[in-house]
Amino acid sequence: MTLIVAVQMDPLAGINIAGDSTFALMLSAQARGHRLFHYTADALNWSGGKLWAEAHPVTVQRVEGHHFRFDAPVSLDLGDEADVVLMRQDPPFDLGYITATHLLERIADRTLVVNDPASVRNAPEKVFVLDYARFMPPTLVTRSLDEARAFLAEHREIVVKPLHGNGGKAIFKVGADGANLSALMEVFNQTWREPHMIQAFVPDVAKGDKRIVLVDGKVAGAINRLPGEGEIRSNLAVGGSAERTELTETEREICAALGPELKRRGLLFVGIDVIGGKWLTEINVTSPTGIVAIERFDGTDVAGLIWDAIEAKVKSNRS
């Protein structure tokens, strides 16, 4: 089966090919004989029921600085000419991102979009996870300084982060004395119109923040991400390091609880974050990462598992 795969992502020139999950997916697709096209989300056009983008046919290789080659751009009808659209642009999860999901939703009855655009729109990382609050550390969503102060008084140490942030950006720890909490809430309220997420600080974050990847609702692999010196953030994008890991019994329970719902929603490639073997903090559905590190540490071809699932879905849709 040869598929036409349109990859909606950020510019290829700026990616880190050593760890980029989208690039790994493109390499895997190309090795299977699928034809790849690249475009950015701002290239989407709609008229008269047709959705298209100016897209470049692309070939990729794992050679730093020469990792892709574009052919002349074409007007690619995403509904009638593409078999699969990989929606892989990085957040922010802003109106541009949301609009792209609305546009892609209009072709989802003809073209497999991974992840399902309506489900991505309805499952932002730090909001969808509230459905599984029983697995989360104590959490408050608010814009109120008074509520934040009361939460700090109860839990002694807290973490404040944007509700729609990504990549470990703008995550702050506030100690028991509450120093700078009012200033921090003031900055957050001026910067973002939505509420913010405040959680009880989990000291076990020093031992790592586990990224578990699920493919079509089933565990495909995991890595433990360790924070750098002087950091509470373990995201690889902000200097964290990775190590091999195994799942705890509670983590398996979390995955078993999430898996059927992820599959039902068409969230085929998902990365969840768990601290201390038991505290679920995020369900990443927009542009999950981690598959390169998983393969490096335990040899699991997660990209291949993702393409197995995609190919099975395309075949099922055609029959």
Could you list the active site residues? 126, 161, 211, 225, 233, 273, 282, 284
CA torsion 240-243-247-251 (nearest 10°) is 0
Angstrom distances, CA of residue 290 to CA of 94, 100, 216 = 23, 24, 16
First to last CA, the chain: 13
The Cα–Cα gap between 43 and 178 comes to 46
* Sign of CA pseudo-dihedral 162, 212, 7, 238: positive
What count of other Cβ atoms lies within 10 Å of the Cβ of residue 133?
Answer: 11
The Cα–Cα gap between 270 and 129 comes to 12
Phi-psi group of 5: left, alpha or beta (phi > 0 → left; psi -120 to 50 → alpha; rest → beta): beta
For residue 132, how far is the Cα from the chain centroid? 18
Provide the angle, in degrees to the nearest 10, between the axes of the packed helices 181-191 and 145-155: 140
The Cα–Cα gap between 113 and 104 comes to 7
Peptide bond into 115 cis (omega under 30): yes
